[in-house]
């Protein structure tokens, strides 16, 4: 399919929708707040955003990037941790509202697809994209194809157990990777050192008006970029956990590239260098095998929309065009 499609990135706080051409260029976009506890209002918010864009552009299909488990048929959200969706057939509901073809995909898969087609991974056929935000998401491109698994819910890598019986996770388990290497973990670490070692966290506390609970991820990043010892310590900590997780993934998947995306990746090389050092130091067989590159994502906040829109265009073909594998 050529022409224009709409990609919708649906998260716990916002609905972002954009018109995307077949070169992956975002032409127009709009946003809505996500009424996370009311599934009917979420659907109406998505439909309203698409209608707004469709009033100015000829739309051929719609792709939805949803933060949750999406079934193998790319139609139903089985479970969404930050939304009230449970066995929600988004494809049927939205197709009837919009009278357009609809494809539903996990949001991190959409990011991985966008980066593999138009971003940091466009020269790689085997990559893992890591979205580091409130939690950790992932998408896998293997031999030029999006790896979805037998039930459609592959790459929920944020819930790999890193610390047996460790910190309680919102998924119901303990010790999940995202409890140690996410944006939430970054803030947890910063607030903890501010409470227990205020002198060490003086820069963070000054930025937060003296209140440890007022520290945000943006504050931690700003402090670290200014060379503040407390902020740098927090990035040392999450960089250690993220790099350790990449080493585990490399042992299983053997990608040629890891792409770091999500809000925390805005810290740039401050994060990437720490992650890469830990990854290389914990890679099994190091010194006797090729080592995957670690790059920052290129598409930023557009990636979820671009990926979802392109998946709507390719529909059931989840192989990267031009892949020779």
Check residue 259 and give its pLDDT.
98
pLDDT band at 325 (very low <50, low <70, confident <90, very high): very low
pLDDT of 318 strictly over 70: no
DSSP 216-242: -HHHHHHHHHTT-HHHHHHHHHHHHHH
Check residue 100 and give its pLDDT.
97
pLDDT band at 315 (very low <50, low <70, confident <90, very high): confident
Please provide the distance, in angstroms rounded to a whole number, between the alpha carbons at the two ends of the chain. Answer: 22
Check residue 316 and give its pLDDT.
55
Q: Cite the residue boundaries of each domain of the chain with CATH code 3.30.420.40.
A: 4-113+302-314, 122-297
Q: What's the average model confidence in pLDDT over 291-301?
A: 97
CATH number given to 4-113+302-314: 3.30.420.40
pLDDT band at 215 (very low <50, low <70, confident <90, very high): very high
Dist. CA 231–CA 223, nearest whole Å? 5
Residue 205 near residue 231, CB atoms below 8 Å:
no
Question: What integer best gives the mean pLDDT of the chain?
Answer: 94
Dist. CA 283–CA 102, nearest whole Å? 40
Retrieve residue 54's tokens.
């469709």
User: Rounded to two decimals, what is the model's pTM?
Assistant: 0.92
Dist. CA 183–CA 230, nearest whole Å? 16
Check residue 322 and give its pLDDT.
54
**E strand or H helix that includes residue 157:** none
Dist. CA 57–CA 26, nearest whole Å? 12
pLDDT of 202 strictly over 60: yes
Q: Which range, of 34-43, 100-109, 291-300, 312-321, averages the lowest pLDDT? A: 312-321
Closest listed residue to residue 107, CA positions, set 177, 54, 34, 2: 34
Check residue 35 and give its pLDDT.
85
Residue 157 near residue 260, CB atoms below 8 Å:
no
Chain center to CA of 68: 11
Q: What's the average model confidence in pLDDT over 17-43?
A: 93
Check residue 193 and give its pLDDT.
97
**E strand or H helix that includes residue 119:** none
pLDDT digits (tens, 9 = 90+) for 111-147: 999 999 999 999 999 999 999 998 999 999 999 999 9
287 against 244, higher pLDDT = 244
The phi, psi pair for 138, rounded to 5°, reads -155, 155
CATH for the 122-297 domain, from 3.30.1950.10, 2.40.30.170, 3.30.420.40, 3.40.50.300: 3.30.420.40
- Count of positions (residues) in the chain: 325
35 against 132, higher pLDDT = 132
Closest listed residue to residue 256, CA positions, set 156, 148, 144, 125: 125
pLDDT digits (tens, 9 = 90+) for 137-192: 999 999 999 999 999 999 999 999 999 999 999 888 999 999 999 999 999 999 99
Retrieve residue 58's tokens.
């000829």
Closest listed residue to residue 152, CA positions, set 108, 190, 93: 108
257-261 vs 293-296, strand pairing mode = parallel
């Amino acid at each position: 399919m050529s022409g224009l499609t709409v990609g919708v990135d649906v998260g716990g706080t916002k609905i972002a929708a954009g018109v995307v051409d077949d070169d992956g260029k975002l032409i127009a976009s709009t946003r809505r707040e996500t009424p996370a506890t009311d599934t009917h209002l979420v659907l109406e918010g998505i439909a309203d955003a698409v209608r707004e864009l469709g009033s100015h552009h000829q739309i051929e299909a719609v792709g939805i990037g949803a933060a949750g488990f999406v079934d193998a048929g790319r139609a139903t959200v089985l479970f969404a941790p930050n939304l009230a969706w449970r066995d929600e057939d988004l494809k049927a509901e939205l197709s009837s509202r919009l009278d357009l073809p609809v494809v539903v995909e996990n949001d991190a898969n959409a990011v991985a697809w966008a980066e593999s087609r138009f971003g940091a991974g466009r020269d790689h056929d085997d990559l893992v994209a890591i979205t580091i935000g409130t939690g950790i998401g992932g998408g896998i491109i293997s031999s030029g194809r999006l790896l979805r698994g037998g039930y459609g819910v592959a790459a929920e890598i944020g819930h790999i157990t890193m610390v047996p019986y460790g910190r309680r996770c919102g998924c119901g388990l303990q010790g999940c990777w995202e409890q140690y290497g996410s944006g939430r973990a970054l803030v947890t670490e910063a607030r903890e050192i501010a409470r227990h070692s205020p002198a060490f966290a003086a820069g963070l506390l000054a930025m937060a008006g003296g209140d440890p609970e007022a520290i945000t991820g943006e504050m931690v990043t700003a402090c670290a970029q200014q060379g503040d010892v407390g902020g740098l310590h927090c990035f040392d900590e999450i960089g250690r956990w993220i790099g350790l997780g990449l080493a585990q993934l490399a042992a299983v998947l053997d990608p040629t590239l890891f792409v770091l995306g999500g809000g925390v990746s805005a810290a740039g090389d401050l994060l990437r260098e720490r992650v890469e050092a830990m990854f290389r130091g914990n890679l099994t067989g190091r010194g006797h095998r090729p080592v995957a590159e670690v790059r920052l994502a290129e598409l930023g906040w557009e990636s979820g929309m671009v990926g979802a829109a392109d998946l709507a265009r390719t529909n059931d073909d989840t192989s990267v065009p031009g892949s020779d594998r």
